[in-house]
């Protein structure tokens, strides 16, 4: 079955620095990926998505990179702020469509 994993379970960055969160996936047939942010006690919040026909997608302060050759995703957060502190999940689509497989998450802590 599919598996989505994250390279680093925890990440601490200084406020204002850039953050990079990595994710590996195993199903080469997955064609859609979403990054979610989850704050304590809340549901996952949609950050940005990317389809497999793209290598890069940019949002407001966030960029997602997709490397299909090595089945790797990354989320880059520019000028990290204290409000960015949360657990970040990457999710890949499975079957049925709109079912997503999640990794265990990376906990990002921003140091003021």
Spatial separation of the C-alpha atoms in residues 91 and 86, rounded to whole Å: 16
Taking CB under 8 A as the rule, does residue 21 contact another protein?
no
Q: Please select the residue that binds another protein; options are 25, 36, 64, 86, rule is CB under 8 A.
A: 36
Chain centre to alpha carbon of residue 64: 8
44 lies in the binding site for another protein (CB under 8 A): yes
Stretch that binds another protein, among 12-20, 61-69, 75-83, 99-107 (CB under 8 A): 99-107
- As measured in angstroms, the least distance from the Cβ of 112 to another protein is 25
């Amino acid at each position: 079955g599919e598996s989505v994993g994250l390279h680093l379970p925890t990440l601490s960055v200084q406020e204002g620095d850039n953050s990079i969160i990595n994710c590996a996936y195993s199903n080469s047939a997955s064609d859609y990926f979403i990054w979610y942010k989850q704050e304590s006690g809340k549901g996952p919040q949609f950050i940005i998505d990317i389809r497999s026909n793209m290598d890069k997608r940019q949002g407001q302060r966030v960029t997602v990179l997709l490397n299909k050759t090595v089945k790797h995703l990354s989320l880059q957060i520019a000028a990290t702020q204290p409000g960015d502190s949360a657990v970040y999940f990457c999710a890949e689509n499975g079957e049925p469509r709109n079912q997503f497989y999640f990794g265990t998450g990376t906990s990002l802590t921003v140091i003021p």
